[in-house]
Amino acid sequence: MSEEIKADAELDLRGVMCPINFVKTKLKLEMLDAGQVLEIVLDSGEPIQNVPKSIKDEGHTIVDVKKEDGYFRLKIEKS
Amino acid sequence: MDRFIEDKSHKVDVNIDGTTEKKIDFNDLKTGGFIKQRQKDLFTVRLRCPGGRMTTKNLIEVSKIADEYSLEGVVHFSYRQSLEILYVNYKEFSKIVEKLAEIGMKVASCGPRVRVPTACGGCEYNPNGLTDTQGLARMVDEKFFGTPTHHKFKISFSGCPLDCSRTREMDLGFQGVVDPVWDEPSCTGCTICSEVCKEDAIEADPDTGKPIFKEENCIYCGDCIRACPTGSWTAKRTGHIIRIGGKHGRHPLEAFAQANFIPDEKVPEVIEKTIEWYLANGIRGERIGFTIRRVGYDSYQEHMKETFESGSPVREEI
């Protein structure tokens, strides 16, 4: 978990409701190769309660999490 | 015969096994899951669907049977997840039972005995589910269904603290719980667990972001375990909160927790010993909720002592 993890793609999901935010994440991940990293930005509250666990359920790894003001920046490594 | 004329008789001639004709009391029929309707000669046939689950193949076959024997062509989904075939003439009882048996379906029951257990989806397919509620419901149905008690005895299984199967309204309820433990070295202080916890049981340390766990607020739902990106929160143990003495009806009672983290393998023992205590302490026509309030929780706890040692103590009472 370090600063150096570089994202291969980015998705700003602020203001996107559940479960659309997860569906968008899933579709974006499908476009990447295994091992590539997707960075997503999620609102606090419901999105952060639901999306990380769904990502884990799909077998991907959350390699970095940063809390910013009112939202979270997550880096996901595709499985 | 106008089937909408109310019939108030209490006995009926029945040819159950195809040979013996005799008068049968409607209350006896209820023990076999045949419930008298307002309409003369017509009954509701309640099926046994533990946990409200049925194979699609059985559902198709049951539909055919219902279509053949329900004079109005209707079924009803009962409040306890079983399917009821309405408007069945009592003369068809033996035939309908035989047809249901061909597909392995049985008729349920009413009256003072252990009823068909209810359950949510549980851990098999529900993302929140912590326990195998469906498997346990099948086990209870096989082992305890029909056991005579002082009054009706309803059991349910909820897979998590959302408690969709309403264990607080059951004579005996089992609700899934998971005990979370935190591993410091693997924690990165991302604070997701504190965001995810709806119970204010996890506070993020303002400096490190690492969790400060307040167990007194924890309801053991496992949201922290599921959300943690690094697997720092894990399940120490999974089990059941045991709730006893709830009921609905004219005078509802709330079931109170009497033990926590009781493992799956102790569930049959909890049921067996609870019924044992109920039979010894209750009186005919008294629900266990009234018995435990009359006799006292201490007596029940004493009886369950050994069994409850497999989990952690909890005592809720009025």
- Taking only the tens place, the pLDDT of each residue in A33-71 is 999 999 999 999 899 999 999 999 999 999 999 999 889
Q: Do B229 and A65 touch (CB under 8 A)?
A: yes
pLDDT band at B104 (very low <50, low <70, confident <90, very high): very high
Domain that holds residue B236: 118-313
Q: Find the CB nearest A1 among B127, B188, B192.
A: B188
Query: A49: which chain B residues are within 8 Å (Cβ-Cβ)?
Result: 195-196, 198, 223, 227
Task: Please indicate whether, in this complex, the C-beta atoms of A49 and B191 are within 8 angstroms of each other.
Answer: no
Residue A23 forms contact with B (CB below 8 Å): no
Q: Both B70 and B46 in a single domain?
A: yes
Output the DSSP codes for A25-75: HHHHHHTSPTT-EEEEEEETTHHHHHHHHHHHHTT-EEEEEEEETTEEEEE
For the complex shown, is ipTM > 0.95?
A: no
Range of the structural domain that residue A41 is part of: 9-77
pLDDT in tens, B175-217: 999 999 999 999 999 999 999 999 999 999 999 999 999 999 9
- Strand B155-158, strand B172-182: pairing: parallel
Tell me the residue type at B15. Answer: N
What confidence category does residue B28 fall into, taking pLDDT thresholds of 50, 70 and 90?
low
Domain identity same for B208 and B140: yes
Reply yes or no on whether A18 is catalytic: yes
CB B318 within 8 A of CB B292: no
The pLDDT-based confidence of B314 (bands split at 50, 70, 90) is confident
Residue B2 lies in a domain: no
Residue B220: left (phi > 0), alpha (psi -120 to 50), or beta? left
- Give the chain A residue whose CA is nearest to the CA of B229: A62
pLDDT attached to residue B198: 94
Q: Which of A53, A56, A67 is facing B191, going by the closest CB pair?
A: A67
Q: How many domains does chain B have?
A: 2
Q: Which of A39-43, B8-12, B228-232 has the lowest mean pLDDT?
A: B8-12
Whether residue B129 sits in one domain with residue B97? no
Q: Flag whether A61 is in a domain.
A: yes
Digit-coded pLDDT (tens) for A5-30: 899 999 999 999 999 999 999 999 99
| pLDDT for B223 | 95
Per cent of chain B over pLDDT 70 is 90
> What is the number of structural domains in chain A?
1
pLDDT at B33: 85
Chain B residues within 8 angstroms (CB to CB) of chain A = 127, 188, 190-192, 195-196, 198, 209, 223, 226-227, 229-230
Which pLDDT belongs to residue A1? 47
Contacts of B69 (CB under 8 A, 6+ apart): B45, B85, B88, B89, B92, B95, B96
- In this structure, the strands spanning B233-244 and B172-182 are antiparallel
Test B195 with A72 for CB contact under 8 angstroms: yes
